[in-house]
Amino acid sequence: MAAKIKRAKTEFQKKILVIVESPAKAKTIEKYLGPSYTVKASMGHLIDLPKSRLAIDLDHNFEPEYITVRGRAKLLKELQGDAKKAETVLLASDNDREGEAIAWHLRNAITARDSTVPIKRISFNEITPTAIRNAVAHPGTIDEDKVNAQKARRVLDRLVGYNLSPLLWKKVKNGLSAGRVQSVALRLLCDREKEVESFIPEEYWTLDADFRSGKSLYTAQLVLWQGAKPELKNEAAVNALKEQVLKADCVVAEIRETEKTIKSRPPLTTSQLQQTAANRLGFTSRKTMQIAQQLYEGVSLGSDEAQASRVGLITYMRTDSVRISQSALEEVREWIGKNYAGELPERPVEYVVEKKAQDAHEAIRPTYVSHTPDYLKEYLNKDQQKLYAIIWERFVASQMNPARTKTVSVDIKAGEGIFRVSGTKVVVKGFYKVMKLLASKEEKGNPYPNLKMGDPVKMDAFRAEQHFTHGPSRFTDATIIKTLEEKGIGRPSTYAPIISVLLDRYYVTRSNKQLVPTILGKMISGMLSEYFPGVMDTAFTAAMETKLDEVEENQIKWPDMIREFWDPFKEQVDEVGKSLESFKGNLDEPTDQVCEKCGKSMVKKLGRFGFFLACSGFPECRNTRSIPLAKCPKCGGDIVARKTRGRGKEFYGCTNYPECDFISHFKPTSQNCPKCDRFLVEKYDKRNGYYKSCINPECDYLHSEIYGEEVRFDDEQ
């Protein structure tokens, strides 16, 4: 009898086990569900393909061979034990392909140990008490089609990576790797770099003039000369034009007023969040997603002890849809009605979801509109507060009335020239009323010119300015993500990892927030583009993404999709492996340089960080030197990269130091000046971005003053 009572008591104490992905999320959810629930974290994937081998059965429908991830066996065993003791197991990993696969693997591992455990799947778009309790009250089953889509992507990436990487080891250099989507992104970066490097800037000038009317002074720009856009290619052309204008009477010839309606933009998707955070805050895509994850999983709105106030602040941050739920729509309209009643549209603003969007999740939005950025300021760190403000402002503004601006443009006729001055003001603020961090140039505006038709004005002074045309800009995190999205390459969850992988492999470096391919990255991209044009083709990669979507929609079977890709790809790999000559011999080039330590010749080698000179007597002599980048304009010696003592800041100096004291803080390019034939250097500033300038201070081709500065430097790296 006592035994029966004890057994009944044990069964009565059984809890429901909820398994999520991260500890932070587990801590938040456990507070919402109460003592009848235990929430544990899987810490991501516990079961996956092994790293040491292909593990794909090519003869049996590409079936993957899964194993427990190294170092995760103990955690998996604990979860299996907890599941056996639980009344029910609720798998609550993220509601995307990877999350579905995690749930699928966990279910299989738990049932393999005890097939009697009831297992269900729950999903939610936000971590709030209402959303979590609603998910628990309406559990479902694992989406096998979504699992198959993840399996297909995993197998596809494994087949590409584990066939191309060994080819690179054999033909180029040991330790290299290639990925399906990352290689296409690398090609985009390298193609853009070719355009940047081949561009030669051309000189042009603009001409402004100060006009006085009474006590007011206006600066206007020359926009027409003899009825056409002025072409001022040099200073002589500017001076000739000024002489003609000085003789002419100046009068207000035309005034135009235009109004412009500015509609609010839709709430943020993953790519838009990363682009906006990059442009407005300077965040990398990786940093943006890390902070967004923190906001999604939950932040404590109180002291450390007051964990009951822990709440998820935004909805799921991996989405390509601009859809919002009906409850969120009602909440934001109610908030706008109370706080900005005049800016509430009669009907909710609707945004079109693009055809290629999966629409599995809502747009990224705050979970509670009442949690304004100012309200949360004391609970968030600086970066969290900024990112949250972007999300909140964009969401609330998306359901407010448009803004309206008024622009007044005044044309001043001066002889055969037309000078124009304009001013813009916001006449109806609309959604701008909630914009602080995302305030635009239109909102700030500038004063209207107070002039009337026929008013005579007096020319006070000219303002001529020299410019040079700008070539294409290098990609930044924001622009490469935008390009990948436009071309249909990757998905919301992959944008940040694509950039991170390229940086980690040192195929790309980040300079002034721009992504610059390395020598190694260019070489890898060039070889893959030549011998595997299909894999490196953007349209082909986008088509593969579409097929993965079709697998998820159960329109095609994943083994059929893989087979269609694999047969021609494998044939190409085998052919290239036989016919392609090894690049390894070409990478180690003999030079006429002599090792100053042992007297043997130096060899040009390719290392992880680019080319360098190494002694041919290695390993007895381990001397290395930097590759000369240009010839010194003072003594004819070699210009190489140096680093200052202390902070280690890079600059470029002559190898004949201290006899020659030439230095440059700007990197020499492979191009020579079209005017004096000295080498060009690459410069950067916020106004002009990257541009090339002549190293010769006597040359007026984007003049650069760099002589005469003394810097002490260490020996060669």
Catalytic residues: 316
User: Cβ of 648: how many Cβ atoms within 10 Å?
Assistant: 9
Dmax (CA) of the chain: 117
Distance CA 525, CA 178 (A): 9
Beta strands in 227-359, from DSSP E residues, in sequence order: 250-262, 299-300, 310-311
DSSP symbols for 656-703:
TTTT---EESSEEEEEE-TTT-PEEEEEEETTTEEEEEES-TT--SS-
Given a contact cutoff of 8 angstroms between Cβ atoms, the answer to whether 222 and 418 are in contact is yes
Distance CA 488, CA 507 (A): 22
Distance CA 320, CA 363 (A): 7
DSSP symbols for 611-665:
EEEEETTTTT---EEPPP-EE-TTTS-EEEEEEBTTT--EEEEETTTTT---EES
Residue type, 378: E
Distance CA 689, CA 162 (A): 39
Distance CA 445, CA 250 (A): 27
Of 274, 278, 271, the residue nearest 492 (C-alpha):
271
Which residues on neighbouring strands pair with residue 418, listed in sequence order? 224, 413
Distance CA 656, CA 716 (A): 12
DSSP symbols for 527-544:
HHHHH-TTTT-HHHHHHH
∠ CA 291-297-298 to the nearest 5 degrees? 95
Please list the alpha-helical segments (H only) found in 268-407: 270-281, 285-297, 326-339, 373-376, 382-397
Distance CA 46, CA 21 (A): 10
Measured in residues, the chain has a length of 717
Given a contact cutoff of 8 angstroms between Cβ atoms, the answer to whether 283 and 277 are in contact is yes
Q: Is the dihedral of CA 265, 269, 273, 275 positive or negative?
A: negative
User: Cβ of 463: how many Cβ atoms within 10 Å?
Assistant: 12
- 40-46: list long-range contacts, CB under 8 Å, 24+ apart: 40/78, 40/79, 40/82, 42/75, 42/79, 42/93, 42/102, 42/106, 43/72, 43/75, 44/102, 45/69, 45/98, 45/101, 45/102, 45/105, 46/72, 46/75, 46/76, 46/79, 46/102, 46/105, 46/106, 46/109
Helix, strand, coil % in the chain, rounded to nearest 5: 35, 25, 40
Given a contact cutoff of 8 angstroms between Cβ atoms, the answer to whether 639 and 665 are in contact is no
Of 486, 400, 402, the residue nearest 442 (C-alpha):
402
Q: Is the dihedral of CA 430, 436, 438, 440 positive or negative?
A: positive
Residue type, 541: T
